[in-house]
Structure 1
Amino acid sequence: MAILLHRLGRWCATHRWTVVGAWVALLALTVTGMLTLARPLSNEFSVPGSRFEAVLETLQAEIPEAAGQTGTVVLRSDTPFTPEQEAAVADAVTAWEDLEGVTAIDPFEAQAALDGAGNDLADGERQLEEGRAELEQGEADLQEARQQVTAGLEELDAGEEQLEASAAELEAGRAQLEAGQAELETQVQQLDAAQADLDGQLQQLEAGVAAGQVPPAQAEAARAQIATGQAQVDAGRQQLGAGQAQLDTSRAELEAGEAQLAAGREEIEAGRQELQAAEDQVTEGEQQLVEGRAELEEGAEALEAGRRNAALSEGFRLVTQDRTVAMTQVSVADAGGLIPPETTSGIQRVGEDLAAAGLDVTYSKEITDDLSSLLGPGEVLGLGVAALVLLVMLGSLVAAGLPILMAMVGVGVGLTGALALSQWFDMQSITPVLALMLGLAVGIDYSLFLINRHRQQLRHGMPVRESIALAVGTSGNAVTFAGLTVIIALAALTITGVPFLGVMGLVAAATIAISVLVALTLTPAALALIGLRVLPRRARTALESGDDHDTAAEDARHRDTHRGWAAVVQRRPWLAILGVLAIVAGLGYPTGQLRVGLPDGSSEPADSSAYLTYDTVRDEFGAGANGPIIAVAELDTPVGDGETALLTAQADLGEDLAQVEGVVRVLPAGVNEDRDVLAFQLVPEGGPAEAATEDLVDRLGSAVQQIGDERGAQIGITGQTVANIDISAQLADALPLYLLVVVGLSLVLLLLVFRSVVIPLLATGGFLLSVAAAFGAVVAVYQLGHLSAVFDVHEPGPILSFLPIILIGILFGLAMDYQVFLVSAMREEHVHGLDARTAVVTGFNASSRVVTAAAIIMVSVFAGFVWAHLTMVRPVGLGLAVGVLVDAFLVRMTLTPAVMSLLGERAWWIPRWLDRVLPDVDVEGARLERTLAPPAAAPDPQEEPELSPSR
C-alpha cells in the first residue's frame, strides 16, 4: 500500500495541473448537478414497515385529508379580537386555501361551531322534550278518539238492533194487516153473497106477489124479514168500512214506520261511514304516532351520541376564553413529510398581512424550518479557530490555508454530489450538515498530516517532489487506514435497517472518502505548486543557507525521552490511568439517565417563531395539542347509514380510547367513503417529547388491540409522536448489531495496521471511555439542563434518537484516526530499533504536535456546530467535540502511552501464526523508506541538505 501511494503522490506532484483541473471539473459537475437536480430536504423521519408507517399508509389511502402534513399558526392580540381582526383572519384562511394543496381552518368560525354545539345540544334536548310532550298529548287524543269511535260504534250497533226490532214489529204488523185485509175481503164476499141472496129472495117474493102466489101478509112478513137481513148486511158493510178505514190507517202507519226504518238505516250507515272515517284517522294517527316515536327515539339516540362525542372533546378550544389567542391548523396534502419551501413561504407571506390588523403571528417548525443553509455563524467561527490553530502551528498563511482549502474542496464535491442525488433519494436536513461537519474536520486533519510530514522532510533537505511522494506513501498510508475506519463506521449505518440513517451514513462516508482522495491527490498537487512556500519564511531562509540548527534542535527534542507529556505520563502511569478514569467517570455519570426522542418545537431557539408557537400552544391550549396521536380504526363491518350511526360508532370507539390513562380528549378526525375506516385524534396530557407521552404510546399499543377485539375493528396509531417513539425503539434495537459489525471490522483493520493484539483492544477500550464521556456531556447539557445558559438550551428534553448510534459510529472512526497517527509513529520508532518504552515517548514526541493541532481543529469545527442554526445538530456537535477532546487528549495522548509503557514489549505481542497470516500493510512506511533510493531517503540531520532545483 505504501509503495502504491508513493507512486500516486509522485504522479500527482508531477501532473499537478492535471490533478487540479480534474478536481475543479468534478466540483463544477457536482455543483451543476446540485443546482439542477437537488430537491428540498426534510426534517421528517420514516421507517418503512414500522407500526406508524403502516397505519399512516392506511390513513393516506382511506382518509387522505387527515394524513396531510400539518403546521400550526398562532395568532395573538393585546386585546380581545375585534370583528375586523376576525374578518382579516378569515381572508387569510381563504388566501391560504388558494395555495396548492393547502387546507386551513378559520379558528373563530370553528370555535363558534364548538361553542354552538352546546347550544345545539340544549336546543335538541328542548325539542326532544317538546316532541315527547306532543307525542304524549297525541297518544291521549288518539286514545280519546278511539274511545269515541268505539262508543259510537256501540251506539250504532244498539240503534241497529232497535231498527231490526222495529223492522220485525213492522213486519208483524204488515202480516197482521194483510191478514185483516184478507179477512175483510172475505167478509165483503160474504156480505156480497148475503146481499145477492136477499136480492134473490126479494125478487122471488115480488115475483110471487106479482103472480099472486104469496099472500100479502106473508109477503109483508117476508119483506120485513128481507129488510132485517138487508139491515144486517148494511150494518156489516158499515163495519167493513170502518175495518177498512182502520186497515188503511194501519197501512199508512206501517208505511210511515217503514220510511222511518229506512231513514234510520240510512242514518246508521252514514254513522258507520263517519265512524269508519274517524277510525281511519285514528289508525293513521296511530301510525304517525309510531313514526313520531321512532323519530323521537332516533333523535334521542342522535342527541345522546352527540352528547357523548361532545364530552370526549370537552375543553378543546381554538380560541382562548379571553379571546386574545387563537390557534389554527394549515394542512398540506401529499406533502411527503415536508411542506414545500414555496408553500411555507406562501403561508408566511399571507400571514404578514395580518400584522396590519394588529395581530402577532407565529408559525410551528413545520412551516418555519429553513433547511437551505448549511453554514451558520457558529460553523464559520469554528473554521476561524481552525485557521488560527493552523497559522500558529504552520507559521505560514499559505500553509495554514491549504488544509482548509482541501477540506472545502472535499466537502464541496461530497455535499453538492449528495444534494444532486437527492432527486432520487430522500434526504433529511441533518444529512448534509453531518457530512459537512465530518468532511471539514477530517479533511483539514488528513491534509494537515500530509503537509506536516512533508514540511519535516523539507526541513531535512529532501527535494520537494520526492518529499511529496514519501509523505503520501507514509502519512498518506496512515490517512488511508484512518479514513477507512471512519468510512466503515459510517457505511455500517446501513445495517440498522433505517433508510434515512443509512443514507445519512453513506453520504457522510462518501464525503470522508472524497476527503481522503483529496488528501492523497489534490494535496500533493497543491504542495507541488507552492513548493517551499509551505515552510515559514525563516525555515526557507535557513534551508537555503544550509542552517539546520532549528531542525536539529527539533529532532533532539523528539529524541529526548525525558521531555514531553509522554515522558511525564511514563513516569507515573498508574496516576495517569486513574486520572483519566476519574475525569471520564465525572463526565460520563449522566449517561445512565439517557432518554432519546426526536426534536419538536421545544428544542428550537427561545426567540424563534417555532418555539414561541410551541410554547403558546402549550400554555393556552395544553401541551398535548403540540403532538396529537392519530388512531385509525378499520371496522369489520361498515357503519350503517345515517349520521346517528356514525356518531354512535365514533362515540363507542372514542370512549374506549379516552379510558386509556394519559388521553385528555378524543376528537373524530374523519371517515372514509365506505364508512369502514374511522380516524381519531388523541390529545395526550403531556407534550410530544415528554416521558409521560412515551408511556402513553406504550399503553395505547396494547389497549387498541383489546378495544379492537371488543369492537370488531383493527386499530393502529400513528402521527409524529408515535413515529418518534417507534424510530427510537428501532434504533435502539439496531445498536448492538451495529456495534458488533463496526467494532469487529475496525479491530481487524487495526490488527492489520499495528500487527498487535493488544493495541486494537486498547484502542476499543479507550473508545468506550470517550463514548461514555461524550454521552454524559450531551445528557447533562441537553437533557438535564446543566450549563443550559452557556449552550443556549432553554428547555432540556430527550436526546436526538439517532444521536447514540451516530455518535458511536463517528467517534469510533475518529478515535481510530488518532490511534493510527499516534501509535503508528510509536510503531515506526519501534520498527526502527528502539525499545518499546522509548518508542512510546519518541513516537509521541514526533507526532503529538500535529495530533494536538489536528484535535484542536476537529474540536473547534465540531464545537462550531454547538450553536448551529439547525438545533437538531447541536447535541451532535457537542458530543463529537467532547468525545474528540477526551479521546485525543485523555485516551490517546494520556491513557494509551501510560498503558503501553506499563506493558512494554507485550503491547506489540501477536501470535506467530497470526503474524504469518496477516499481510504487511507497512502503515508506518518503514519498508517503503528502505526500498527508496538514497535521494528519496531522509538525510542525516547533521549533513548539508541538498536543495532541489524546484526550490
Structure 2
Amino acid sequence: MPQPQAPEPKTASSPARKGWLRRTGEWCAEHAVVVIMLWLAALAGLQVLHHSYAGEYSDDFSLPGTQSQHGLDVLKAHEPLAGGYSSQIVLSDHDRPLTAVSGQLSAAVAALQRLPDVLAAQDPLTVPSAPSVGPLSDDGRTAYITVRFSVPPSTLGGDYLQGVDSAVAPLRAAGVQVDYGGGLGELAQPEPNDRLSEIVGFSVAIVVLLIGFGSVAAAVLPLITALFCVICGLALLGLLASAFVFATVSPTLATMIGLGVGIDYALFLVTRHRQNLMNGDDPIRAAGKATAVSGHAVLLSGCTVIIALSGLWVSGIGFIGTLGLAAAVTVVTAVAGAITLVPAFLGLAGRHIDRLRVRTPIAEADGEPGGESGGESGGESGGEARGSWHRYAQRVERRPWWYLISGVVVLAVLAIPLFSIQLGHIDDGADPESFTDRRAFDTMSAAFGPGSNGPLTLVVDQSAVPQADRPALAAQAQHGLADVPDAAAITPLTPTSDGDVLIATAYSVAAPQDERTTELTNRLADDILPAAVSGSAARTYVTGATAAQVDFLDIVSRRLPLIIAVVVGLAFLVILAVFRGLLVAIKAAVLNVLSIAASYGVVVAVFQWGWGGPALGVSGTVPIESYVPMMMFAIVFGLSMDYEIFLLSRIHEAWLRTGDPKASVAHALEITARVITCAALIMVSVFAAFVISDEIVVKMLGLGLAASVLIDATVVRLLLVPAVMTLLDRRAWWTPRWLDRVLPHLEAEGHDMAGEGEGTGLGRGAGDGPGAPAQPSRL
C-alpha cells in the first residue's frame, strides 16, 4: 500500500469571499431579535396549524403479501362478520356466576352491536363451546365478549370509548369487573406523557453543562434552542400525521432524538463561539466563524443521521419507514435551529455569555499540536500541552495495542447476550397493572390459559374444491389438526355461510409473546395446515393479530441484515468522501457496528434476561420488540457519526497542518474530549430519562440508545479510535487515486474565507503521493 506523504508547511490563505454559512451566522447574530421573533412566529403558527389540522397517531398497519393478510382478505370476502378486527371485553365476578346478570349482559351486547364500526358482538352465555376454549369459564364467573370491528379498534379515537363504556355500564353497575383487551385495551391506555422524562433529561443536562463549561448562559442556551426545535418538529410531525399513518410511539421517538441532537448541535457551536471570543473576536464575527466551521459539521452530521434513518425504508414496511421519518423531522429542525437560532442567541448574548458563572468558564483548547493551546485549558506555550487528555492520548500512543485489545474485550463482553436474542412482540402482560388491557390479560390467562390472549384463526379456502369432495376434505383437515404440539386447543372446522371457507381457532399453551406461540404459528402455516389439505386444491392460511405479528417478525428478521448493510455502506461512503481515507472509513464502520452490538447485549440482558427489568417497571422477562433493533441501529449509527465526525475532523485538521499523524490524534483528543464527554452525558441523560415511560418499547429504546451513546463516547471514541488511528499512522489517510477521483468532495468542518488564516488548505501537486492531504473544498 503506498504511504501517504506528509503535507507541506501551512501557508496563509488569500482573502476570499465568505461562505454562505458564515454569512448566515453573522447575519443571524447581527439581527438576533428579528431571527428570534421569526422563530417564535413560526412556533406559534405551527401550533395553530397543529391544533386545527393535526392527524391522529395509530398502530394500524398492513402487511401486503403475507399469508396472514391473505387469510384476512379471504375471510372478508366470504364471511365479513368473521373477517373484521376482533377485541375482547373481559368480564369477571368473584361472588357469583355471570348467569346471574344475563339480562345486563344481553343488554350490553345489544348496545355494543349498535356502535359505529362494529360488525358483530358475541354473547358468551349463548355460544356453545368446548371446555377450556371459552368464551365462558368452567366456573361461570369469567367470560369475554368478542367484538369484531370493521377497522382496527385502536384507530377509533379516545371519544369512541365513551360509547363502549355506556354499553357496558349496566354490567359495571351490577358489580361485574369489566376490562378491555386487544385493540380496545390499547385505545383505553392513558395518553403517553413524556413531560417528566423531558424534565429529568433537561435537569441533568443543565448540571452537566454547568460542571463542564462553568457558564450559566452557555449551559442554558443549547437547552432553549433544542426545546424550540423539538416543539416545532412535533408540530410538523402532527401535520404530517394527517397525510401519513404514524405509530403512536412516533412523537416520543421524535422527542428523544430531537432533544439529543438539538442539544449536541447547539453545544458544538456554542463551544466554538466561546473559544473565538476568548481568542479576541467580536461576538458577531465569532458567531459567524463558529457557524462556518462547526455549523458545517452539524450539517454533515445531520445529513448522516437522516441518511441512516432513511435506510429504514429498505425494510419495505411502512410502519418502520414512518418511524424513521418521524425521527428525521426533529433532526431537520435541530439542524435548522443550530445554524440560525443558535447564532442569534449568541449575538444577543454578546460578550456577556460568561457573565453568570459557577466557576471559571472553559471553552475548547485549540492550537498547534504540541504547541500553544488557546483558551483557559491550554497547554504550555511552545512546548508540549499539559492537559490531562493530552497526557492520556500520549499513553494510548505508547501502548495502542493494549488499549485496542481492552476496548474490544469490553465490547465483546457486553455483546455476549446478543447471541441469545429473541425477537418478538411484547404482549399486554408486560403493561402496568393499572392498565385495563393488563387486567384483561391476567383475567383471561387465569380463566382460559395464556394462549387465550392471542388466538390464531385457521382458514381453509376450499372454493376451488368441487362440492362433492368438500366433506372428505373437511374430515381430512380436522384429522390433520389433532394433537398439534404446543396447541392447548383447536376448535372444530366450521364452514362459512357460503360454504367456500372452513374456519377454526387455535389456542397456544403459551402467551402471545412466548417463543412457543411463534413456533406454533409458523408450524401451522408452513407445515400442519398445508399437510392437512394435501392432495386437494384448497389453500390454507393462519391469520389474526398474533399471526400478523409473527409475519411482521419474519419480515423484520429477513430484512434486518439488508438494512444494516445499507446504513453501514452509506455511512462508509460519507466518511470516505469527507476524510479521503479508506482505512479511516472502514475503521468507523467496524467500530460503530461493534458498539451497537454491545448496546444490543445490554438491552437483551435487561429486558429478556431480566437483569434489572423489574427496577425499570417491567413485569417479568419480555422478548425484544421486533423492530427495536432495526430502529436502534439506524438511530445509533447516525448519532455515533456526530462524535466520529467531530473527532476525526480535528485529527484531519491537525494532520493537514503538520503531517504528524500521531501528534494529530493526541491534539484532537485533547481539544474534543471535554465536548464529546459532555455532549454524550447529556444525550445519555435525555435517552435514559425515557425509561420511566409506561410503554415497554419506549423503555427499550431509551435504555438502548443511552447505552449506545455511552459506549460509543467512552470505549469507542476515547479509547478505540485513538488506538486504531495511532496504529494506522499515515496509512489512515490513504485512498487509491482512482477512488479519490470518483468520490464527491465533502468536508467535515468549514473554513473561514476572509484571509484570517483559519483552516488553510493544502494543494496537491503533481508529485504528491496517493493519499496526501488534498485541498479542502471551500464554503
d(CA) in 1 for partners of 2:18 and 2:515?
53
Partner of 2:680: 855
Partner of 1:91: 107
d(CA) in 2 for partners of 1:412 and 1:600?
31
Preserved contact between residue 639 and residue 649 of structure 1 (Cα < 8 Å): no
Structure-2 change in CA distance of 1:825 and 1:75 (3 Å): same
Partner of 1:366: 183
The alpha carbon displacement at 1:769 in A equals 1.4
d(CA) in 2 for partners of 1:55 and 1:803?
27
The alpha carbon displacement at 1:905 in A equals 2.6
The answer on 1:482 being equivalent to 2:296 is no
Partner of 2:246: 427
Q: Which residue of 401, 422, 444 maps to 1:617?
A: 444
Partner of 2:285: 466
The answer on 1:517 being equivalent to 2:339 is no
Please give the secondary structure, in 1, of the residue aligned with 2:616: coil
- Which ranges in structure 1 are unaligned for 5 or more consecutive residues? 115-312, 544-548, 939-951
Structure-2 change in CA distance of 1:48 and 1:418 (3 Å): farther
Please give the secondary structure, in 1, of the residue aligned with 2:388: coil
Q: Which has the larger radius of gyration?
A: 1
d(CA) in 2 for partners of 1:809 and 1:877?
14
Q: How does 1:194-213 map to 2 (within 5 A)?
A: none
Preserved contact between residue 690 and residue 699 of structure 2 (Cα < 8 Å): yes
Partner of 1:595: 422
Partner of 1:691: 515
Q: How does 1:708-787 map to 2 (within 5 A)?
A: 708-710=533-535, 712-787=537-612
Q: How does 1:338-349 map to 2 (within 5 A)?
A: 338-348=155-165
- Which ranges in structure 2 are unaligned for 5 or more consecutive residues? 1-16, 363-371, 761-779
d(CA) in 2 for partners of 1:770 and 1:836?
25
One-letter amino acid of the structure 1 residue matched with residue 301 of structure 2: A
One-letter amino acid of the structure 1 residue matched with residue 178 of structure 2: V
d(CA) in 1 for partners of 2:435 and 2:387?
55
Partner of 2:79: 63
d(CA) in 2 for partners of 1:500 and 1:371?
22
d(CA) in 1 for partners of 2:482 and 2:351?
76
Q: How does 1:816-895 map to 2 (within 5 A)?
A: 816-833=641-658, 835-895=660-720
Structure-2 change in CA distance of 1:433 and 1:89 (3 Å): same
The alpha carbon displacement at 1:635 in A equals 1.5
One-letter amino acid of the structure 2 residue matched with residue 932 of structure 1: A
Structure-2 change in CA distance of 1:653 and 1:27 (3 Å): farther
Partner of 2:69: 53
Deviations 1:73-99 (A, max 9, x none): 222333223665444444333333332
One-letter amino acid of the structure 2 residue matched with residue 681 of structure 1: T
The answer on 1:30 being equivalent to 2:30 is no
Q: How does 1:12-411 map to 2 (within 5 A)?
A: 12-81=28-97, 85-102=101-118, 105=121, 109-110=125-126, 113-114=128-129, 313-335=130-152, 338-348=155-165, 350-351=167-168, 354-369=171-186, 370=189, 372-373=191-192, 375-411=194-230
The alpha carbon displacement at 1:577 in A equals 1.8
Partner of 2:379: 556
Preserved contact between residue 382 and residue 860 of structure 1 (Cα < 8 Å): yes
Preserved contact between residue 332 and residue 339 of structure 1 (Cα < 8 Å): no
d(CA) in 2 for partners of 1:43 and 1:490?
19
Q: Which residue of 410, 415, 418 maps to 1:583?
A: 410
Q: Which residue of 604, 608, 619 maps to 2:435?
A: 608
The alpha carbon displacement at 1:49 in A equals 2.0
Deviations 1:401-453 (A, max 9, x none): 32222222222222222221222212111223222211111111111111111
Structure-2 change in CA distance of 1:618 and 1:647 (3 Å): farther
Structure-2 change in CA distance of 1:28 and 1:646 (3 Å): farther
The alpha carbon displacement at 1:480 in A equals 1.2
Q: Structure 1 stretch 887-896 or stretch 598-607: which is displaced more?
A: 598-607
Q: Structure 1 stretch 674-683 or stretch 796-805: which is displaced more?
A: 674-683
Partner of 1:453: 272
Q: Structure 1 stretch 505-514 or stretch 805-814: which is displaced more?
A: 505-514
Aligned-residue sequence identity (percent) comes to: 34
One-letter amino acid of the structure 1 residue matched with residue 204 of structure 2: V
The alpha carbon displacement at 1:790 in A equals 2.1
The alpha carbon displacement at 1:649 in A equals 7.5
d(CA) in 1 for partners of 2:359 and 2:467?
92
Deviations 1:493-519 (A, max 9, x none): 112211111112122223212211111
Q: Which residue of 526, 534, 542 maps to 2:353?
A: 534
Structure-2 change in CA distance of 1:752 and 1:744 (3 Å): same
The alpha carbon displacement at 1:374 in A equals 5.2
Preserved contact between residue 613 and residue 619 of structure 2 (Cα < 8 Å): yes
Deviations 1:112-167 (A, max 9, x none): x44xxxxxxxxxxxxxxxxxxxxxxxxxxxxxxxxxxxxxxxxxxxxxxxxxxxxx
The alpha carbon displacement at 1:629 in A equals 1.0
Preserved contact between residue 68 and residue 548 of structure 2 (Cα < 8 Å): yes
The alpha carbon displacement at 1:387 in A equals 2.9
The alpha carbon displacement at 1:772 in A equals 1.2
The alpha carbon displacement at 1:750 in A equals 0.6
d(CA) in 2 for partners of 1:538 and 1:105?
66
The answer on 1:633 being equivalent to 2:453 is no
d(CA) in 1 for partners of 2:611 and 2:629?
19
How many residue pairs match? The answer is: 728
Deviations 1:322-363 (A, max 9, x none): 333333323322337634322234324555664443333332
TM-score (norm 1): 0.71
Preserved contact between residue 465 and residue 536 of structure 2 (Cα < 8 Å): no
- Aligned-residue Cα RMSD (Å) equals 3.2
Preserved contact between residue 29 and residue 346 of structure 2 (Cα < 8 Å): yes
The alpha carbon displacement at 1:844 in A equals 1.1
TM-score (norm 2): 0.86
Preserved contact between residue 96 and residue 347 of structure 1 (Cα < 8 Å): yes
One-letter amino acid of the structure 2 residue matched with residue 826 of structure 1: I
The alpha carbon displacement at 1:64 in A equals 2.2
Partner of 1:141: none
